[in-house]
């Protein structure tokens, strides 16, 4: 089994036959995971604000429009990109159309994969186990972890989460006695995660994006997004319908 | 002062007003540094094998043709991509035309920078000090370390060398009492380097490219390329003449 990590959505290559796990810890994939866990019917990632508005018209308004530009809520949208906004009472049974600067682009960039899962610290074990199951069945022997990055650049928060997922995969594969093959970046991310696992926030505080969010008053979002394994479900992106759902 | 690291040549953005340090530890920038240290007049990086052959015709044969594809010497070329081949008695006073899979592409990708230096473990301190001098003079306040990577992917060997150069810069800036601003990847590379500095070879043995070179019998090259600060000069790429020289 192979495990590889891509540092940004722009760096993603052809993923055909592979399982992609898309990560944008701060905050798009944490938002998607939270919204679906809280009962949203589906999340539709939209590349641009215009795309989101056009989609919303198709649904004749029976949707929630969410997302950010420059980390803040888009004028006229119902919700921003804070996972704490996506409460059960607000999203349950609803369709959410989401457009963000990095995360929704990373999902689009992973469309060539056989399976596209949405991952973050919140559901790290769940998403790793789902990918591992497919690999052990021989369905998709390579797991490609796609970090969204921040504005086209490598991001410490995403790479730490990638490192955690690599570590879970490696530990579980070792149990299966099959040695995994790590790409250079998969090795480096795991190494960084293992070094800083006891104080993730201190590590991630060196990230440019962390500092930006902190300056905008989003510290509660950061604390929420850094919780590990508090959600036990995996959002799956359906390439045919272009929507993300939880598939049981 | 800002310090940023790019993981691959494909990820490089506009570097105007910045100092670029191009790194391809295994082996292109180690070859260029060695050839010029051993008295080569100039090294001309050529993007393709055809470009190299056309350039050689212009020089009417009075050149050495060097380089690799798939890590091995190109048929009809004088030299491969092993720094140990570029001995004084062979290269002294000569023009070398070099084409490699990653390193020469990374130099081209950095052409928008104000200054383009060639770096590797062999001349890490020399290249860091040269870039720092320019930054302190206010000439190029951002140092962009461009890792060539391997076939478009992040490479542990280049990132360890980037980490060493970041560390030298940070330690010397601290002496100047100006706090440097590190990009996320600059922070991560420095961290990895500091962890593994006492056994670089063990760390780099996890790199896919290391394993490939080892399999081809290039262990002596690897040992040579991992020596730190054995060469005290900095190859400079001249964007006008498209050649690399040592500028005293």
SS (H, E, C) B49-63: HHHHHHHHHHCCCCE
Taking alpha carbons only, the member of B203, B198, B200 closest to residue B226 is B200
pLDDT at A176: 64
- Euclidean distance between CA atoms A30 and A43, whole angstroms: 12
pLDDT at B247: 83
pLDDT at B183: 98
In tens, the pLDDT along B82-98 reads: 999 999 999 999 999 99
Q: Which residue shows structure tokens 């949208």?
A: A77
Interface residue of A156, A184, A200 to substitute, partner B, most B CBs within 10 Å? A184
Report the residue from A150, A183, A208 with minimal CB separation from B208.
A183
Rounded to 10°, the helix A184-196/B156-175 angle is 50
Task: Calculate what percentage of chain B has a pLDDT beyond 90.
Answer: 92
User: CA distances (Å), A66 to each of A35, A59, A84, B3, B190, in order?
Assistant: 11, 14, 12, 35, 37
Report the residue from B10, B156, B187 with minimal CB separation from A188.
B156
In tens, the pLDDT along A8-37 reads: 999 999 999 999 999 999 999 999 999 999
In tens, the pLDDT along A144-176 reads: 999 999 989 999 999 999 999 999 999 998 776
Lowest mean pLDDT, pick from A48-52, B173-177, B181-185, B240-244: B173-177
C-beta separation of B56 from B43 below 8 A = no
Report the residue from B183, B207, B208 with minimal CB separation from A153.
B183
> Which is higher by pLDDT, A248 or A19?
A19
How many angstroms away from the CA of B131 is the closest CA of chain A?
22
In tens, the pLDDT along B17-43 reads: 999 999 999 999 999 999 999 999 999
Task: Calculate what percentage of chain A has a pLDDT beyond 70.
Answer: 98
Report the residue from B11, B155, B184 with minimal CB separation from A207.
B184
Task: Calculate what percentage of chain B has a pLDDT beyond 70.
Answer: 98
- Euclidean distance between CA atoms B182 and B143, whole angstroms: 10
Q: What is the DSSP pairing of strand A19-23 with strand A142-147?
A: parallel
- Euclidean distance between CA atoms A185 and B157, whole angstroms: 11
Mean pLDDT, rounded, of chain A: 95
Spatial neighbors of A175 by CB under 8 A, at least 6 apart, are none
CB atoms within 10 A of CB A44: 21
Residue A61: pLDDT over 80:
no
Taking alpha carbons only, the member of A215, A206, A209, A222 closest to residue B181 is A206
Radius of gyration of chain A from its Cα atoms, rounded to whole angstroms: 17
- In this prediction, residue B177 has a pLDDT band, given cuts at 50, 70 and 90, of low
Considering only CB atoms, which chain A residues are within 8 Å of B184?
A: 150, 153-156, 159, 206-209
Q: Residue range A97-121: average pLDDT?
A: 96
pLDDT at A248: 72
Can you list the domains of chain A with their CATH numbers? Answer: 2-91+99-238 (3.90.1560.10)
How many angstroms away from the CA of B87 is the closest CA of chain A?
32
CA–chain centroid gap for B3, Å, is 17
Residue A62: pLDDT over 90:
no
In tens, the pLDDT along A169-227 reads: 999 987 766 789 999 999 999 999 999 999 999 999 999 999 999 999 999 999 999 99
Residue of B nearest to A156 (CA): B184
Contacts 24+ apart (CB under 8 A), A196-201: A196/A160, A197/A164, A200/A121, A200/A160, A200/A226, A201/A226
In degrees and rounded to multiples of 5, residue A154 shows phi and psi of -50, 135
Report the residue from A13, A152, A159 with minimal CB separation from B188.
A159
The complex's ipTM?
A: 0.93
Mean pLDDT, rounded, of chain B: 95
> Which is higher by pLDDT, B214 or B60?
B214
C-beta separation of B82 from B218 below 8 A = yes
In tens, the pLDDT along B181-235 reads: 999 999 999 999 999 999 999 999 999 999 999 999 999 999 999 999 999 999 9
Considering only CB atoms, which chain B residues are within 8 Å of A207?
A: 184
pLDDT at A103: 94
Spatial neighbors of A91 by CB under 8 A, at least 6 apart, are A35, A38, A39, A40, A64
Residue of A nearest to B150 (CA): A184
Residues from B contacting A (CB-CB < 8 Å) are 7-8, 10-11, 13, 150, 152-156, 159, 182-185, 187-188, 191-192, 195, 206-209
Q: Residue range B155-162: average pLDDT?
A: 98
């Amino acid at each position: 089994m192979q495990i590889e990590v891509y540092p940004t959505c722009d760096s993603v290559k052809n993923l055909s036959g592979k399982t992609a796990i898309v990560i944008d810890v701060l905050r798009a994939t944490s938002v998607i995971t939270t919204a679906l866990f809280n009962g949203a019917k589906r999340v539709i990632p939209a590349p641009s604000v215009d795309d989101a508005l056009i989609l919303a018209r198709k649904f004749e308004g029976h949707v929630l429009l969410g997302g950010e530009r420059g980390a803040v809520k888009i004028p006229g949208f119902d919700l921003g990109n804070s996972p704490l906004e996506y409460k059960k009472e607000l999203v349950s049974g609803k369709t959410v159309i989401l457009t963000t600067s990095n995360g929704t682009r990373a999902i689009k960039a992973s469309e060539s994969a056989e399976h596209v899962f949405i991952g973050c610290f919140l559901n790290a074990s769940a998403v790793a186990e789902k990918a591992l199951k497919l690999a052990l069945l021989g369905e998709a022997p390579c797991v490609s972890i796609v970090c969204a990055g921040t504005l086209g650049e490598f991001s410490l928060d995403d790479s730490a989460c990638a490192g955690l997922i690599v570590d879970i995969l490696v530990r579980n594969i070792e149990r299966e006695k099959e040695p995994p093959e790590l790409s250079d970046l998969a090795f480096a991310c795991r190494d960084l995660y293992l070094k800083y696992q006891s104080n993730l926030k201190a590590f991630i505080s060196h990230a440019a994006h962390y500092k930006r969010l902190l300056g905008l008053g989003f510290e509660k979002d950061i604390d929420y997004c850094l919780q590990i394994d508090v959600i036990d479900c995996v959002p799956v992106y359906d390439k045919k319908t272009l929507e993300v759902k939880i598939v049981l």
